Amino acid sequence: MALPAIHSFFKLSVLTFFILAPAARASEWIEYSSNGFATLTHYSLPLNYIASCGCTAESTHYPTAALSQMAFGSSTAYGPACGRCFNLTLLNTFLSVPPFYPSEQKSIVVKVTDLCPLSTTGWCNATTNGPNAAGNYLNFDLAYPSTSIPSNFFPSNASYYGYTDFGVWNISYESVSCNGWEGWNDAAALGSVTGQGPESVCCAADPTNSSNTCTSYSDHNGIA
């Protein structure tokens, strides 16, 4: 019984290495402007979960997001995007037929606390060689549902489309100071967890307005 298991594990790691190794090199991180267009998806992040950056558990009580790997700037643990805050504005859906343009444009300020892993397809697949399927180089993966985000945050028209969750949105983003983030006045929601060793975590309280920025864990450690 043990032999086939070992064999398939081995095959899997070779395959993973083959896919990831050529793409994730330091010179190939995506440099992005302080504002522009992006895609927005959402994913489940349990309350109090410590995500890739190692931001405090309390950060999950406020709006947070994962950023696509090549813009995040590390293939594991923390990267330069950790702790950065962005104002995200929902513009339209584009997978629905027809595209949906909500009558009211909703915005939310998120703090980046997590990494959305590079894949060959999917919304976090942009590299310096090309954008994702929507033509964007950045994808924000919003932690949602969240205790801090109203359950009607994503506008919809169920009677017309037959569903409420459009899944993927075209958004505009703007890099903003974290003093506009909902968790800013909660000291426990800022910074990194302690007791993990400073080498493995980095969550800047407000990297747009200080020299307190995070470097790339994978560059530091020679990880592809």
Q: Catalog residues that contact ligand NAG under the rule CB under 6 A.
A: 37, 87, 89, 91-92, 94, 107, 109, 121, 125-127, 129-130, 132-134, 157, 159-160, 170, 176-177, 179-180, 209
Residue 134, Cβ density class (10 Å: 0-12 exposed, 13-18 middle, ≥19 buried): middle
CB of 133 to ligand NAG, least distance (A): 4
Pick the closer one to ligand NAG by CB: 134 or 193: 134
CB of 10 to ligand NAG, least distance (A): 26
CB of 65 to ligand NAG, least distance (A): 14
Tokens (6 digits) for 104: 């009211």
The residues, any chain, with a CB within 8 Å of residue 158's CB and separated by 6 or more, are 164
In the DSSP assignment, the letter for residue 29 is P
Pick the closer one to ligand NAG by CB: 32 or 77: 32
> Helix H segments across the chain?
2-20, 69-72, 158-161, 217-220
CA–CA dist 204, 190 (Å, integer): 8
Pick the closer one to ligand NAG by CB: 102 or 145: 102
Pick the closer one to ligand NAG by CB: 107 or 196: 107
- Check: CB of residue 61 under 8 Å from CB of residue 148: yes
- Check: CB of residue 217 under 8 Å from CB of residue 24: no
CB of 4 to ligand NAG, least distance (A): 32
Pick the closer one to ligand NAG by CB: 194 or 209: 209
Q: What angle do CA 51, 52, 54 make, to 5 degrees?
A: 70
Place of tokens 């595209």: 99
Pick the closer one to ligand NAG by CB: 50 or 181: 181
Pick the closer one to ligand NAG by CB: 89 or 213: 89
CB of 136 to ligand NAG, least distance (A): 7
CB of 60 to ligand NAG, least distance (A): 20
CA–CA dist 101, 52 (Å, integer): 33
CA–CA dist 92, 7 (Å, integer): 46
CB of 222 to ligand NAG, least distance (A): 24
Q: Cis ω on the peptide bond leading into residue 155 (within 30° of 0)?
A: no
